[in-house]
Amino acid sequence: MAKLSFPVTPLQEQLDAGYLLQALRRVAGVTDAGIDLETSWVQLAYDSRRVDTFALVTAVRDVGHAVPVKSCELTVAGMTCSACAFRVEGALADLPGVLTAEVDLRAGTASVEYVGKSLQMDAMQRAVEEAGYALRFPAVS
């Protein structure tokens, strides 16, 4: 069971929250959904084998709310072929909160779009390492 929380555009009234909760609960694989009306953060529990972050964010957008998206670019070491890039993309895309993961094999980079603040660098590093590769971090001086 995966958990995810992310902000949505401010909800004007409880009726907005009700529509949003209905939409999220209709998504196959969602086991629990809640909204903090003061902060406009959605909290979800879901089966990651049945639903991904993209489907959850789409459900929010379909009822008229926006979800802020963040992005980062990672340098990945050890990729030598398109199968390597595919494995890294899949490993990153499977993380809760990731909307998209795209690997540029020639540049040795992965671009990740995600929601919420739950996605941590150590989770991305672990996912890449479990796929058999390594993240390179810039030298700190």
Model confidence at 137, pLDDT cuts 50, 70, 90, reads low
Residue 22 neighbours by CB under 8 Å, 6+ apart: none
What pTM, to 2 d.p., does this model score?
A: 0.83
| Span 108-123, pLDDT tens digits | 999 999 998 766 888 9
Comparing 2-62 with 69-136, is the CATH topology the same?
yes
Q: Are 45 and 30 spatial neighbours (Cβ–Cβ below 8 Å)?
A: yes
Domain boundaries 69-136, corresponding CATH code: 3.30.70.100
| Span 18-61, pLDDT tens digits | 889 999 999 999 999 999 988 889 999 999 999 999 999 999 99
- At 87, is the secondary structure helix, strand, or coil? helix
Strand runs labelled E in the chain: 2-7, 30-36, 41-46, 69-77, 98-104, 109-115, 134-136
| Span 49-80, pLDDT tens digits | 999 999 999 999 999 899 999 989 999 999 99
Q: Break the chain into its structural domains and give their ranges.
A: 2-62, 69-136
Of 3.10.20.30, 3.60.21.10, 3.40.50.720, 3.30.70.100, the CATH number of 2-62 is 3.30.70.100
